[in-house]
Amino acid sequence: MFDFKHAPILLDIGHLSVDYVSRDQPPAHAVVDVSFVLREGEILGLVGESGCGKTTLMLSLMRLLPAAGRIVDGQVNFVGRDLLSLSEAEMTDVRWKDIAIIFQGAMNALNPVRTIGDQIAEVIVRHNLAGNKNVLDQRVSELLELVGIGANRKNQYPHQYSGGMRQRAMIAMALACAPQVVIADEPTTALDVMIQAQILELLMKLRQKLGLAVILVTHDLGVVAEICDSVLVMYGGVTAEYADVNTIYNHPQHPYTQQLLGAFPDLSRPRDELIAIPGYPPRLDALPPGCRFAPRCSAAFGRCHYQQPALHRVDGFHVASCHLVESR
Protein backbone atom coordinates (compact mmCIF):
# COMPACT_ATOMS: atom_id res chain seq x y z
CA MET A 1 0.00 0.00 0.00
CA PHE A 2 1.04 3.59 -0.66
CA ASP A 3 2.66 5.10 2.42
CA PHE A 4 1.78 8.76 2.40
CA LYS A 5 3.79 9.56 5.53
CA HIS A 6 7.08 9.75 3.64
CA ALA A 7 5.86 11.63 0.58
CA PRO A 8 6.89 15.28 0.15
CA ILE A 9 4.61 17.88 1.72
CA LEU A 10 2.47 19.88 -0.71
CA LEU A 11 0.19 21.87 1.55
CA ASP A 12 1.03 22.97 5.04
CA ILE A 13 -1.78 24.68 6.94
CA GLY A 14 -0.77 26.13 10.31
CA HIS A 15 -3.05 27.53 13.02
CA LEU A 16 -5.60 28.82 10.56
CA SER A 17 -8.48 30.81 12.05
CA VAL A 18 -11.37 32.35 10.14
CA ASP A 19 -14.02 34.77 11.39
CA TYR A 20 -17.24 35.90 9.81
CA VAL A 21 -17.78 39.54 10.66
CA SER A 22 -20.95 41.59 10.61
CA ARG A 23 -21.58 45.20 11.54
CA ASP A 24 -23.88 44.77 14.50
CA GLN A 25 -22.74 41.48 15.98
CA PRO A 26 -19.51 40.13 17.42
CA PRO A 27 -17.49 38.07 14.89
CA ALA A 28 -18.41 34.40 14.52
CA HIS A 29 -15.38 32.15 14.88
CA ALA A 30 -16.06 29.71 12.05
CA VAL A 31 -12.63 28.06 12.04
CA VAL A 32 -10.27 28.20 15.02
CA ASP A 33 -6.63 27.16 15.01
CA VAL A 34 -6.77 24.35 12.48
CA SER A 35 -3.50 22.77 11.31
CA PHE A 36 -2.83 19.92 8.92
CA VAL A 37 -0.47 18.85 6.16
CA LEU A 38 -1.20 17.26 2.82
CA ARG A 39 1.44 15.20 1.07
CA GLU A 40 1.88 14.12 -2.52
CA GLY A 41 -0.56 11.36 -3.40
CA GLU A 42 -2.33 11.59 -0.05
CA ILE A 43 -6.09 11.46 0.24
CA LEU A 44 -7.16 13.42 3.31
CA GLY A 45 -10.72 13.07 4.59
CA LEU A 46 -12.15 16.22 6.12
CA VAL A 47 -15.08 15.02 8.19
CA GLY A 48 -17.75 16.88 10.09
CA GLU A 49 -21.42 17.73 10.21
CA SER A 50 -23.06 20.69 8.51
CA GLY A 51 -21.88 23.96 9.98
CA CYS A 52 -18.66 22.54 11.46
CA GLY A 53 -16.53 24.83 9.29
CA LYS A 54 -15.18 22.33 6.78
CA THR A 55 -16.29 24.24 3.70
CA THR A 56 -15.12 27.55 5.23
CA LEU A 57 -11.71 25.99 5.85
CA MET A 58 -11.44 24.90 2.20
CA LEU A 59 -12.63 28.26 0.88
CA SER A 60 -10.12 30.09 3.06
CA LEU A 61 -7.15 28.15 1.79
CA MET A 62 -8.25 28.89 -1.77
CA ARG A 63 -8.82 32.49 -0.67
CA LEU A 64 -12.38 32.35 -1.91
CA LEU A 65 -14.16 33.34 1.30
CA PRO A 66 -17.35 35.39 0.96
CA ALA A 67 -17.05 39.12 1.72
CA ALA A 68 -17.78 38.71 5.44
CA GLY A 69 -15.06 36.09 5.89
CA ARG A 70 -11.67 37.09 7.34
CA ILE A 71 -8.60 34.96 7.82
CA VAL A 72 -7.55 36.27 11.24
CA ASP A 73 -4.57 34.05 11.91
CA GLY A 74 -2.38 31.28 10.50
CA GLN A 75 -0.47 30.30 7.39
CA VAL A 76 -1.22 28.43 4.21
CA ASN A 77 1.94 27.16 2.55
CA PHE A 78 1.91 25.47 -0.81
CA VAL A 79 5.30 23.94 -1.64
CA GLY A 80 7.12 26.75 0.13
CA ARG A 81 4.93 29.63 -1.02
CA ASP A 82 2.80 31.50 1.48
CA LEU A 83 -0.55 31.67 -0.30
CA LEU A 84 -1.92 34.26 2.11
CA SER A 85 0.67 36.85 1.06
CA LEU A 86 0.20 36.44 -2.69
CA SER A 87 -1.43 39.17 -4.74
CA GLU A 88 -4.87 38.43 -6.14
CA ALA A 89 -3.37 37.96 -9.63
CA GLU A 90 -0.81 35.47 -8.35
CA MET A 91 -3.49 33.63 -6.41
CA THR A 92 -5.64 33.39 -9.55
CA ASP A 93 -2.74 31.52 -11.07
CA VAL A 94 -2.48 29.13 -8.12
CA ARG A 95 -6.16 28.24 -8.42
CA TRP A 96 -6.65 25.58 -11.08
CA LYS A 97 -2.91 25.33 -11.90
CA ASP A 98 -1.76 24.22 -8.45
CA ILE A 99 -4.91 23.64 -6.45
CA ALA A 100 -8.31 22.99 -7.99
CA ILE A 101 -11.59 22.80 -6.13
CA ILE A 102 -14.76 20.93 -7.02
CA PHE A 103 -17.57 22.64 -5.17
CA GLN A 104 -20.46 20.83 -3.62
CA GLY A 105 -23.20 20.41 -6.20
CA ALA A 106 -20.92 21.79 -8.92
CA MET A 107 -22.11 19.20 -11.39
CA ASN A 108 -25.44 21.02 -11.39
CA ALA A 109 -23.72 24.31 -12.20
CA LEU A 110 -22.55 23.23 -15.66
CA ASN A 111 -23.82 25.63 -18.30
CA PRO A 112 -26.77 23.84 -19.95
CA VAL A 113 -26.37 25.55 -23.33
CA ARG A 114 -22.69 24.82 -23.90
CA THR A 115 -21.07 21.49 -24.63
CA ILE A 116 -19.05 19.70 -21.97
CA GLY A 117 -15.90 19.83 -24.10
CA ASP A 118 -16.30 23.56 -24.60
CA GLN A 119 -16.61 24.16 -20.87
CA ILE A 120 -13.48 22.14 -20.11
CA ALA A 121 -11.58 23.94 -22.87
CA GLU A 122 -12.52 27.29 -21.35
CA VAL A 123 -10.51 26.54 -18.21
CA ILE A 124 -7.44 25.77 -20.27
CA VAL A 125 -7.81 28.86 -22.44
CA ARG A 126 -8.34 31.11 -19.40
CA HIS A 127 -5.02 29.97 -18.01
CA ASN A 128 -3.19 30.47 -21.30
CA LEU A 129 -2.29 26.81 -21.57
CA ALA A 130 -4.15 26.20 -24.79
CA GLY A 131 -1.59 26.41 -27.60
CA ASN A 132 -3.38 25.97 -30.92
CA LYS A 133 -6.84 24.58 -31.52
CA ASN A 134 -5.64 21.05 -32.26
CA VAL A 135 -3.61 20.86 -29.07
CA LEU A 136 -6.56 22.16 -27.08
CA ASP A 137 -8.89 19.65 -28.70
CA GLN A 138 -6.46 16.86 -28.02
CA ARG A 139 -6.11 17.89 -24.37
CA VAL A 140 -9.89 17.97 -23.80
CA SER A 141 -10.23 14.47 -25.29
CA GLU A 142 -7.38 13.28 -23.10
CA LEU A 143 -8.99 14.70 -19.96
CA LEU A 144 -12.33 13.10 -20.72
CA GLU A 145 -10.70 9.72 -21.38
CA LEU A 146 -8.78 10.10 -18.12
CA VAL A 147 -12.03 10.25 -16.15
CA GLY A 148 -13.62 7.43 -18.14
CA ILE A 149 -15.76 9.37 -20.59
CA GLY A 150 -15.35 8.58 -24.26
CA ALA A 151 -13.90 11.52 -26.21
CA ASN A 152 -16.79 11.06 -28.66
CA ARG A 153 -19.10 12.58 -26.04
CA LYS A 154 -17.19 15.82 -25.88
CA ASN A 155 -19.68 17.67 -28.07
CA GLN A 156 -22.66 16.68 -25.98
CA TYR A 157 -24.54 18.94 -23.57
CA PRO A 158 -24.87 18.46 -19.80
CA HIS A 159 -28.45 17.14 -20.09
CA GLN A 160 -27.18 14.27 -22.24
CA TYR A 161 -24.94 13.18 -19.37
CA SER A 162 -26.08 11.21 -16.33
CA GLY A 163 -25.34 12.53 -12.83
CA GLY A 164 -22.28 10.35 -12.46
CA MET A 165 -20.92 11.49 -15.83
CA ARG A 166 -21.46 15.15 -14.96
CA GLN A 167 -19.45 14.61 -11.79
CA ARG A 168 -16.71 12.95 -13.85
CA ALA A 169 -16.76 15.93 -16.21
CA MET A 170 -16.30 18.22 -13.20
CA ILE A 171 -13.28 16.17 -12.17
CA ALA A 172 -11.89 16.40 -15.72
CA MET A 173 -12.35 20.15 -15.52
CA ALA A 174 -10.54 20.32 -12.17
CA LEU A 175 -7.65 18.41 -13.74
CA ALA A 176 -7.53 20.65 -16.82
CA CYS A 177 -4.50 22.67 -15.68
CA ALA A 178 -2.74 19.67 -14.13
CA PRO A 179 -2.97 20.71 -10.46
CA GLN A 180 -1.17 18.82 -7.72
CA VAL A 181 -4.01 19.18 -5.24
CA VAL A 182 -7.72 18.72 -5.80
CA ILE A 183 -10.24 19.67 -3.15
CA ALA A 184 -13.51 17.80 -3.59
CA ASP A 185 -16.39 19.08 -1.46
CA GLU A 186 -18.96 16.28 -1.01
CA PRO A 187 -18.33 14.93 -4.53
CA THR A 188 -20.56 11.88 -4.15
CA THR A 189 -23.27 13.09 -1.80
CA ALA A 190 -26.10 13.30 -4.32
CA LEU A 191 -25.07 10.15 -6.17
CA ASP A 192 -26.20 6.54 -5.87
CA VAL A 193 -23.87 4.09 -4.14
CA MET A 194 -22.83 2.40 -7.38
CA ILE A 195 -21.98 5.75 -9.02
CA GLN A 196 -20.28 6.82 -5.80
CA ALA A 197 -18.11 3.70 -5.97
CA GLN A 198 -17.19 4.57 -9.57
CA ILE A 199 -16.16 8.11 -8.57
CA LEU A 200 -14.13 6.94 -5.56
CA GLU A 201 -12.40 4.37 -7.74
CA LEU A 202 -11.60 7.16 -10.20
CA LEU A 203 -10.08 9.36 -7.48
CA MET A 204 -7.85 6.49 -6.35
CA LYS A 205 -6.79 5.82 -9.93
CA LEU A 206 -5.90 9.49 -10.44
CA ARG A 207 -3.88 9.52 -7.26
CA GLN A 208 -1.92 6.53 -8.50
CA LYS A 209 -1.52 7.75 -12.05
CA LEU A 210 -0.85 11.45 -11.46
CA GLY A 211 0.38 11.50 -7.85
CA LEU A 212 -2.58 13.76 -7.19
CA ALA A 213 -3.28 14.75 -3.58
CA VAL A 214 -6.95 15.02 -2.68
CA ILE A 215 -8.83 16.66 0.15
CA LEU A 216 -12.15 14.90 0.35
CA VAL A 217 -14.73 16.91 2.29
CA THR A 218 -17.52 14.64 3.44
CA HIS A 219 -19.84 13.63 6.25
CA ASP A 220 -19.76 9.99 5.20
CA LEU A 221 -17.48 7.99 7.47
CA GLY A 222 -17.84 4.95 5.23
CA VAL A 223 -16.41 6.78 2.22
CA VAL A 224 -13.50 8.05 4.32
CA ALA A 225 -12.68 4.56 5.59
CA GLU A 226 -12.71 3.24 2.04
CA ILE A 227 -10.27 5.60 0.37
CA CYS A 228 -8.58 8.06 2.72
CA ASP A 229 -5.07 7.87 4.18
CA SER A 230 -5.57 10.46 6.89
CA VAL A 231 -8.58 12.06 8.55
CA LEU A 232 -9.28 15.45 10.08
CA VAL A 233 -12.44 15.45 12.19
CA MET A 234 -13.89 18.92 12.76
CA TYR A 235 -16.51 19.94 15.28
CA GLY A 236 -17.91 23.44 15.77
CA GLY A 237 -15.02 25.06 13.91
CA VAL A 238 -12.19 23.32 15.74
CA THR A 239 -10.11 20.21 15.13
CA ALA A 240 -11.60 17.45 17.22
CA GLU A 241 -9.09 14.85 16.08
CA TYR A 242 -6.50 14.35 13.36
CA ALA A 243 -4.69 11.09 12.61
CA ASP A 244 -4.13 8.43 9.99
CA VAL A 245 -7.21 6.53 8.93
CA ASN A 246 -6.53 3.33 10.88
CA THR A 247 -5.99 5.22 14.11
CA ILE A 248 -9.18 7.25 13.68
CA TYR A 249 -11.31 4.17 13.19
CA ASN A 250 -9.59 1.76 15.55
CA HIS A 251 -8.17 3.97 18.32
CA PRO A 252 -10.20 7.18 18.30
CA GLN A 253 -9.38 9.35 21.31
CA HIS A 254 -11.90 12.15 21.05
CA PRO A 255 -15.38 11.29 22.38
CA TYR A 256 -16.93 12.99 19.34
CA THR A 257 -15.04 10.69 16.96
CA GLN A 258 -16.00 7.70 19.09
CA GLN A 259 -19.67 8.69 19.26
CA LEU A 260 -19.82 9.59 15.57
CA LEU A 261 -18.53 6.12 14.68
CA GLY A 262 -21.11 4.57 17.02
CA ALA A 263 -23.90 6.48 15.30
CA PHE A 264 -22.85 5.46 11.80
CA PRO A 265 -24.47 2.36 10.30
CA ASP A 266 -21.96 -0.38 9.65
CA LEU A 267 -23.07 -3.06 7.25
CA SER A 268 -20.39 -5.41 8.52
CA ARG A 269 -21.94 -5.29 12.00
CA PRO A 270 -25.71 -5.04 11.42
CA ARG A 271 -26.45 -6.45 14.86
CA ASP A 272 -24.96 -3.53 16.71
CA GLU A 273 -27.40 -0.91 17.86
CA LEU A 274 -26.86 2.61 16.58
CA ILE A 275 -26.17 5.00 19.42
CA ALA A 276 -27.38 8.47 18.58
CA ILE A 277 -25.49 11.54 19.81
CA PRO A 278 -27.98 13.55 21.86
CA GLY A 279 -28.58 17.20 21.02
CA TYR A 280 -27.43 19.14 17.99
CA PRO A 281 -24.19 20.65 16.68
CA PRO A 282 -23.61 24.16 18.07
CA ARG A 283 -24.48 27.27 16.12
CA LEU A 284 -21.54 29.55 15.45
CA ASP A 285 -23.31 32.48 17.11
CA ALA A 286 -24.04 30.49 20.26
CA LEU A 287 -20.93 28.48 21.07
CA PRO A 288 -20.66 26.91 24.49
CA PRO A 289 -18.03 28.52 26.76
CA GLY A 290 -15.92 25.40 27.29
CA CYS A 291 -15.32 22.51 24.93
CA ARG A 292 -17.63 22.90 21.96
CA PHE A 293 -18.69 19.27 22.19
CA ALA A 294 -19.23 19.25 25.99
CA PRO A 295 -23.04 19.75 25.92
CA ARG A 296 -23.42 16.52 23.89
CA CYS A 297 -20.51 14.57 25.29
CA SER A 298 -21.16 11.51 27.44
CA ALA A 299 -17.72 11.78 29.05
CA ALA A 300 -17.80 15.50 29.90
CA PHE A 301 -16.75 16.53 33.39
CA GLY A 302 -16.51 19.85 35.28
CA ARG A 303 -13.69 21.51 33.38
CA CYS A 304 -15.13 20.65 29.97
CA HIS A 305 -17.99 23.07 30.55
CA TYR A 306 -15.90 26.21 31.11
CA GLN A 307 -12.41 25.62 29.71
CA GLN A 308 -11.66 25.03 26.04
CA PRO A 309 -9.33 22.08 25.59
CA ALA A 310 -6.08 22.60 23.71
CA LEU A 311 -4.96 20.25 20.97
CA HIS A 312 -3.06 17.45 22.71
CA ARG A 313 -0.65 15.17 20.95
CA VAL A 314 -1.42 11.47 21.35
CA ASP A 315 1.54 10.19 19.33
CA GLY A 316 3.11 10.79 15.94
CA PHE A 317 0.88 13.32 14.19
CA HIS A 318 -2.22 12.06 16.02
CA VAL A 319 -3.79 14.97 17.92
CA ALA A 320 -7.09 15.40 19.74
CA SER A 321 -8.64 18.40 21.48
CA CYS A 322 -10.02 16.87 24.64
CA HIS A 323 -9.24 17.32 28.34
CA LEU A 324 -9.44 13.55 28.75
CA VAL A 325 -6.54 13.04 26.35
CA GLU A 326 -4.39 15.43 28.34
CA SER A 327 -5.07 13.71 31.64
CA ARG A 328 -4.28 10.29 30.20
Partner 1 sequence: MTGASILEVRHLRKLFPVKGAGIWRAADKSVHAVDDVSFELGRGEVLALVGESGCGKSTLALTLMGLETATEGTVLFDGQDITHLQGQAMKEMRRHIQMVFQDPYESLNPLITVGELVAEPLVVHRLAQSREERASRVRQALEDAGLKPAETFVNRFPHELSGGQRQRVVIAGALVLEPIILLADEPVSMLDVSIRAEILNLLAELRARRGISILFITHDLGTAAHFADRVAVMYLGRIVEMGPMRQVLANPAHPYARALLSVIPVPNPRQRRERIILEGDPPNPIDLPPGCRFHPRCPIAQPVCLEQDPALNEVSPGHQAACLLL
Q: Could you tell me if 42 and 183 are in contact, meaning their C-beta atoms sit under 8 angstroms apart?
A: no
| Angstrom distance (rounded) from CA 308 to CA 291 | 5
Q: Which of 55, 115, 119, 259 binds partner 1 (CB under 8 A)?
A: 259
We find the least distance from the C-beta atom of residue 131 to partner 1, in angstroms, to be 33
219 is an interface residue for partner 1 by CB under 8 A: yes
Q: Burial level of 204, CB count in 10 A (0-12/13-18/19+)?
A: middle
Is 274 a residue that touches partner 1 (CB under 8 A)? yes
Candidates 105, 131, 222, 289: give the one binding partner 1 (CB under 8 A): 222
Q: Smallest Cα–Cα separation from 99: which of 146, 139, 59?
A: 59
**In contact, 11 and 214? CB cutoff 8 Å:** no
Residue closer to partner 1 by CB (options 152, 268) is 268
Among 67, 113, 276, 286, which residue sits at the site for partner 1 (rule: CB under 8 A)?
276
**How near is the Cβ of 110 to partner 1 at its closest, in Å?**
17
Of 177, 184, 77, which Cα lies nearest the Cα of 128? 177
Q: Select from 225, 288, 295, 303 the one that contacts partner 1 (CB under 8 A).
A: 225
CA dihedral 31, 226, 8, 104 (to 10 degrees): -40
**From 5-13, 112-120, 159-167, 312-320, span contacting partner 1 (CB under 8 A):** 159-167
Of 40, 73, 93, 266, the one binding partner 1 (CB under 8 A) is 266
User: What single-letter DSSP state applies at residue 278?
Assistant: P
Q: Where along the sequence are the contacts to partner 1 (CB under 8 A)?
A: 49-50, 162, 164-165, 192-198, 201, 219-226, 228, 245-246, 249-250, 259-261, 263-268, 270, 272-278, 280-281
